């Protein structure tokens, strides 16, 4: 078992660079299945989700080189083979293979996707879109099989019943090589969707409207190779900004796109966090008294659900009572009992997280229950007096590249050990 050990209470300072966006790259890699030549991605984060995707792509027949955040994929030898259940079951974003394989081969067989346990996250919207474009869905044991009976997928007019990033991207992937025009209404607007559309358009796709709630895709027959720079990870950026406000003596976070963090930055300013926004960086000063606030998550451009957990430790330093209301994932409160174990005055009441501050944290043995909860525990461990031991750290390594090394350079007493 691997653990993260933190001896907290030490002020941090210096500079930390944000890696490429996890939520982009987990879709960009499957999207390359649609290409007819080599594709190079720059800024690919060194996270375990990327390692799992590479393994799956290689099992399908792709040739891959990955070195110093540059990933080169030759998809020409890929075949539509059943994907390994173990890898699929551990990786939520594996569902992007459905859209890409359907678009290229007219069929896909895989187990149902896994990932963090955040409550119901059905893929009904994905399947509804695929069926509208002519695919049929069948089940056999633990596997789901998608296929097109005659010819290839065709364009369709699709209305998303709820705003879904995954379903929007998967529909774009499937529609890119479909015959005719596909229109997605009530589409998600996240920056990662624009990133995927940019890659596909650079490969020769015809996608308009990404970043708005109506996306139009004109199907094409051929997609060529290209080179693409992954956007910075806005969730990692927000995590380090919150961490810097909680324990920093002056920390500069680089490779940040401020416009992707508008609602998050606005909430920090409401709390009284002092920072300076630069062209591609944010400098966070040492903080004094902060004011308690209420956070309510919503689809982009609202406050991101992925940022409410990483922000929670900073909220524990504020004066007064506040709350977190997550309208996206009902179970995104698994970090609460772990923080309470460290001395936080925090609980779940009536479906929302309620806290009273300031709380003085003490090191403890805690468990990462999902990716962003793990990030919250790392920040809490840095804030706490004494030793914090975090288990189940595989969740953290899924989404934060080189987190131990980055924090050590800021002066943190943090290490990863094999138990």
Catalytic residues, by residue number, are 116
- The verdict on whether residue 123 carries a ligand-binding annotation is yes
Output Rg (C-alpha) for the chain, integer angstroms: 21
Exposed / middle / buried, residue 157 (Cβ in 10 Å: 0-12, 13-18, 19+): exposed
Strand partners, 71: 41, 66
CA distance 164 to 390: 32
- The verdict on whether residue 122 carries a ligand-binding annotation is yes
Greatest CA separation found in the chain? Answer: 66
- The verdict on whether residue 104 carries a ligand-binding annotation is no
- The verdict on whether residue 334 carries a ligand-binding annotation is no
- The verdict on whether residue 23 carries a ligand-binding annotation is yes
- The verdict on whether residue 356 carries a ligand-binding annotation is no
User: Which two structure tokens, joined as six digits, stand for 410?
Assistant: 């800021």
Please tell me the number of Cα atoms within 13 Å of 241 on its side-chain side: 30
The answer to whether the peptide bond before residue 301 is cis (omega within 30 degrees of 0) is yes
CA distance 327 to 374: 20
Q: What is the DSSP string of 288-340?
A: ---B--EEEB-STTSB-HHHHHHHHHHHTTSBEEEEEE-SS-TTTTTHHHHHH
**399 in Cβ contact with 52 (< 8 Å):** no
- The verdict on whether residue 328 carries a ligand-binding annotation is yes
- The verdict on whether residue 36 carries a ligand-binding annotation is no
Per the annotation, binding residues are: 22-23, 92, 121-125, 306, 328
Per the annotation, binding residues for phosphoenolpyruvate are: 22-23
Per the annotation, binding residues for UDP-N-acetyl-alpha-D-glucosamine are: 92, 121-125, 306, 328
């Amino acid at each position: 078992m691997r653990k993260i050990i933190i001896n907290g209470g030490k002020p941090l300072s210096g500079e930390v660079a944000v890696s490429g966006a996890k939520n982009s790259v987990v879709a960009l890699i499957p999207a390359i299945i649609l290409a007819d030549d080599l594709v190079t991605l720059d800024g690919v984060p060194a996270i375990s989700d990327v390692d799992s995707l590479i393994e799956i792509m290689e099992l399908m027949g792709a040739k891959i080189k990955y070195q110093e955040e540059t990933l080169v994929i030759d998809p020409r030898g890929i075949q539509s083979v059943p994907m390994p259940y173990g890898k699929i079951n551990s990786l939520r974003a594996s569902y992007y293979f459905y859209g890409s394989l359907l678009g290229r081969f007219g069929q896909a067989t895989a187990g149902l996707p896994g990932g963090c346990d955040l409550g119901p996250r059905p893929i009904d919207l994905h399947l509804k879109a695929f069926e509208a474009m002519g695919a049929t869905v069948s089940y056999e044991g633990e596997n789901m099989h998608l296929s097109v009976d005659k010819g290839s997928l065709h364009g369709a007019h699709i209305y998303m019943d709820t705003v879904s990033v995954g379903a929007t991207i998967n529909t774009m992937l499937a529609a890119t090589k479909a015959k005719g025009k596909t229109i997605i209404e009530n589409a998600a607007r996240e920056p990662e969707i624009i990133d995927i559309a940019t890659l596909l358009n650079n490969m020769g796709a015809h996608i308009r409207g990404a970043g708005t709630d109506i996306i139009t895709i004109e199907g094409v027959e051929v997609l060529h190779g290209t080179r693409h720079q992954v956007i910075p990870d806005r969730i990692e950026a927000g995590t380090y900004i919150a961490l810097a406000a909680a324990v920093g003596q002056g920390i500069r976070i680089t490779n940040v796109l401020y416009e992707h963090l508008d609602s998050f930055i606005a909430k920090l300013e409401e709390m009284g966090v002092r920072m300076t926004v630069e062209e591609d960086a944010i400098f966070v000063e040492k903080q004094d008294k902060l004011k308690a606030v209420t956070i309510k998550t919503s689809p982009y451009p609202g406050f991101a659900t992925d940022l409410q957990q990483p922000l929670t430790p900073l909220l524990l330093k504020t004066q007064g009572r506040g709350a977190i209301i997550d309208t996206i994932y009902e179970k995104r409160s698994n970090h609460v009992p772990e923080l309470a174990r460290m001395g936080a005055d925090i609980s779940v009441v009536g479906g929302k997280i309620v806290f009273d501050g300031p709380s003085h944290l003490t090191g403890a043995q805690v468990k990462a229950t999902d990716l962003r909860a793990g990030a919250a525990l790392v920040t809490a461990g840095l804030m706490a007096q004494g030793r914090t031991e975090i288990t189940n750290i595989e969740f953290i390594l899924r989404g934060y590249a080189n987190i131990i090394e980055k924090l050590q350079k800021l002066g943190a007493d943090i290490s990863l050990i094999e138990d």
